[in-house]
Structure 1
Amino acid sequence: MSTPFDKVIEEIKARGYHNHRLDEHSDTVSNGILHDLLARCKPLRRDFDSGEVRSWLNHQTPGARGRLSDLMVAEANHDGSPNLDKLRIFIENKSVITAHRNRDARFDDLNQALEDIHRVRAEAVLVATVMVGLADRVLNVPDGVKKRYRKNPGEFEKVVLPRLSSGDQSLWDEFEDAVSTNKADDPRKTVEKFRQLRTREPGLTHKVGYDYVLLAPVHIDNVNPPSVPRANLLGIDLDRAYLAMLEQICKAYRTRGSGRFSILIR
């Protein structure tokens, strides 16, 4: 099957490289999850079609000063803003690709979000999604390669960009100072770290915990063509896990009142 993470990979191929500074993948994943939920979850589809709920991208996160959510689905206030007391879906997507040493910071982000959102709406369905990079080295384009062409960006576009993500192995030596390295067991350690996020059983909405944690293995190094490896050493079946996440969300939507509650995905 095709997942939103496959769409992220196609966009990287079209752009030429992954810019980890912009979190460009986030809107793609959020919109993809929402699209698939609407296709598979009749109660949610009904609420959208009736106009009972709407969606917002990059809106202020409830309970977290200064933090923006990637996607909210909620009932609307009279001024058109989302009614934070009647949230249905709240999506934010994390990634650990260029440097796995950032796993702790991303873990802390999700852990803090868990506590913030639970205070706002304990009945919310909370789901964390994390793209986990498998590459042992990554060509850091925004922080390294592009800096050489700061005064002549046109040369970067003409000389370097067409070679990125094409399999041109000479890029490793040409931009040696822009290579971020990861240890062989870093992806496994990153997965183990995020599996330490607190979780809860479906009916225990009083408990602080995620209802689902989705980990998506990807291979992105900005030199070779990016991919979503279905066969991976982490043993993650992304297609099965993605479908299980959609089913879990829809089940909660039905059993918690067919939409008269919140679903929050972070």
Structure 2
Amino acid sequence: METLEGAERCFPQLLNNSCMKPMPPQSDALFIYILLSFISLLTTTLNLLVIISISHFSPTNLLILSLAVSDLLVGLLLMPVEILFTEACWLLGDLMCAVYYVVVFIITSSSVGNMVLISIDRYLAICDPLRYTTRVTLDRTKICVCLCWICSGLYNSLILKDFLRHPDSQNSCYGECVCSVVIYYIETISDLILTFIGPVTVIIVLYLRVFVVAVSQARAMRACSASVFSATDVRLSSSVPHRLLADAESASLLRKYSRLCPLLHRASVFAVHSSLSFSQYS
């Protein structure tokens, strides 16, 4: 009986101090394993293709590259660990558990920050295109991307400082990796605003503004093209009578010349005969 119970624990040698192995239903575990594996593989492959395809480092491409790197880390590091969580114990120790959660928080925060920077870049490119190249430069974009990652690391390290000091404080047994951040009410509200409500609001507002400006520009382009086509039609219609008049004049001249040619021919023949007869008489 003790042998069977020890086989069901993460660390059989620790007995009561060890956690029980996760025993999800076989069908559910298989479905979750296949789904997460497919998502992880797809995320890693697509973001790797994006990173490889970027050859020219413009400000927009640099922001896309930073977002692709953060998403690549999600598919390459975070999701495989979540797959292991479904059917295995945490065997890497308390320190690696703390590092894992810090990395999770940093990557997710930096991904949100990169999306905010991309929305700002698109807003400036569409709503202020004349000053875009002077306001958005490659050096400024590099600084913004570095600040995004640095601020994400510092902020999440500050939030998880107690967990980093005592990574095993939330674990009830060995083989468990739990991160339960205990923060006060004001810190909770500020964290919710800084990491979710604020970025989502900024992204929605900027893209709505971009949509409005894009629609107005499309209407202006359609109106301009319609005016150009109408002006072209007017010019063509006004040039048709002149062309018809010129054709009519050309036709009348040809008719006159055609009538005059026989007369000239007859006059030349008469002149020749007259000269011949005059020569005979003389």
Higher share of residues assigned strand: 1
The higher relative CO (CA closer than 8 Å, separation ≥ 6) is in 1
What TM-score bracket applies, with the shorter chain setting the length?
under 0.3
TM-score by length of 1: 0.27
Structure number with bigger Rg: 2
TM-score by length of 2: 0.26
